Structure 1
Amino acid sequence: MRAVEFHEYGGPEVLKLVQAQIPVPGPGQVTIDAVYAGVNFADLKARAVGYRVESLPYVPGLEVSGRIRSVGQGVEGLRPGQEVAALTGGGAYAEVVVAEAVTVFPLPEGVDLRTAATLPTVLPSAHALVHEVGRLRAGESVLVHGAAGAVGTVAGQLARAAGAGAVYGVVSSAAKAGHALKYGYDEVFVSDSFTDGLGEEIRRATGGRGVDLVLDPVGGDTLRRGIDALAVFGRLVSFGNASGAEPWQAGPPELYARGRSVAGFSILALAQSAPEAVRSLAERAFRTVVDGVVELPVTAEFPLSEASAAHTLMGGRTSTGKLLLRVADAGPAAEGSPA
Structure 2
Amino acid sequence: MVHAIQVHTPGGPDVLQWEEVTVPPPGPGEVQVRHTAIGVNFIDVYFRNGLYKAGTSPFVPGNEGAGIVTAVGPGVEGFHEGDRVAYGAALGSYSEIRNAPAAQLVHLPDAIDDRTAAAMMLKGLTARYLVRRTHQIKPGEVILLHAAAGGVGQILTQWAKHLGATVIGTVGSPEKAEMARANGADHVILYREENFVQRVKEITSGKLCDVVYDGIGQATYPASLDCLRPLGLFVSFGNASGPIRDFDLLTLSQKGSLFATRPTLNTFVSKREELVGGANELFEAVLSGAVKIPVHQVFALKDARRAHEELEGRATSGSTLLMP
TM-score under structure 1 length normalisation: 0.89
Deviation at 1:288, TM superposition (A): 0.7
1:214 aligned partner: 212
Distance 2:102 2:248 in 1: 37
Alignment CA distance shift 1:280-1:255 (3 Å): farther
Contact kept in structure 1, 2:148 and 2:180, CA below 8 Å: yes
Partner residue of 1:42? 43
The answer to whether residue 12 in structure 2 is matched with residue 11 in structure 1 is: yes
The alignment's C-alpha RMSD in Å is: 1.9
Question: CA separation in 2, counterparts of 1:99 and 1:3?
Answer: 14
1:224 aligns with 222
Instruction: Note the 1:45-124 alignment, pairs <5 A.
Output: 45-124=46-125
User: Pairwise mapping of residues 125-274 of structure 1 onto structure 2 (< 5 A)?
Assistant: 125-164=126-165, 166-192=166-192, 197-220=195-218, 222-255=220-253, 258-271=256-269, 273-274=270-271
Partner of 2:30: 29
SS of equivalent residue, structure 1 residue 52:
coil
Q: 1:332 is matched with which residue?
A: none
Answering whether residue 279 of structure 2 is matched by residue 278 of structure 1, we say no
Structure 1 residues 267 and 228: alpha-carbon distance in aligned structure 2, compared to 1, 3 A threshold: same
2:322 is the alignment partner of 1:325: yes
- AA partner of residue 186 (structure 1): D
Structure-2 change in CA distance of 1:182 and 1:257 (3 Å)? closer
Match 1:304 to one of 289, 301, 306? 301
Query: 1:183 and 1:23 mapped to 2: Cα distance?
Result: 43
Extract unaligned runs of 5+ from structure 1: 328-339
Query: What is the rounded CA distance, in whole Å, between the counterparts of 2:267 and 2:314 in structure 1?
Result: 25
Aligned to 1:331: none
CA distance in 2, matches of 1:91, 1:23: 14
Letter in 2 for 1:209: K
How far residue 248 of structure 1 moved from its aligned partner, in angstroms, is 4.8
Q: CA deviation at 1:22?
A: 1.6
Question: Are residues 253 and 93 of structure 1, via their aligned partners in 2, closer, same or farther at CA, if it must alter by over 3 Å?
Answer: closer
| Cα distance change on mapping 1:115 and 1:251 into 2, 3 Å | same
2:116 partner SS: helix
Asked whether the equivalents of residues 86 and 99 of structure 1 are also in contact (C-alpha less than 8 Å), the reply is no
TM-score (norm 2): 0.93
Secondary structure at 1:204 match in 2: helix
- For residues 87 and 99 of structure 1, what CA distance do their matches in structure 2 show? 11
Give me the whole-angstrom Cα distance separating, in 2, the residues matched to 1:314 and 1:178.
19
- Say which SS state the counterpart of residue 155 (structure 2) adopts: helix
CA distance in 1, matches of 2:306, 2:232: 40
> Does the C-alpha gap of structure 1 residues 253 and 138 become closer, same or farther in structure 2, counting only changes over 3 Å?
same
**d(CA) in 2 for partners of 1:50, 1:96:** 26
Structure 1 residues 192, 254: CA separation in 2 closer, same or farther (over 3 Å shift)? farther
Does the CA contact (< 8 Å) of 1:23 and 1:96 recur in 2? no
Tell me, what secondary structure is at the counterpart of 1:117? helix
Q: Distance in 1 between matches of 2:243 and 2:117?
A: 33
1:50 shift after superposition: 5.0
Structure 1 segments (4+ residues) deviating >4 Å:
none
Once the two structures are TM-superposed, the CA of residue 307 in structure 1 deviates from its matched residue by 1.2
Q: How far 1:284 sits from its partner (Å)?
A: 1.2
Question: 1:50 and 1:228 mapped to 2: Cα distance?
Answer: 27
Residue 17 of structure 1 and its aligned partner are, at CA, apart by 1.2
Aligned length: 323
Shift of 1:33: 0.8
Larger displacement relative to structure 2 (7-16 or 127-136): 7-16
Could you tell which deviates more after superposition, 43-52 or 210-219?
43-52
Unaligned runs of 5+ in 2: none
Cα deviation for residue 136 of structure 1 reads: 1.2
2: CA distance between counterparts of 1:263 and 1:11?
29
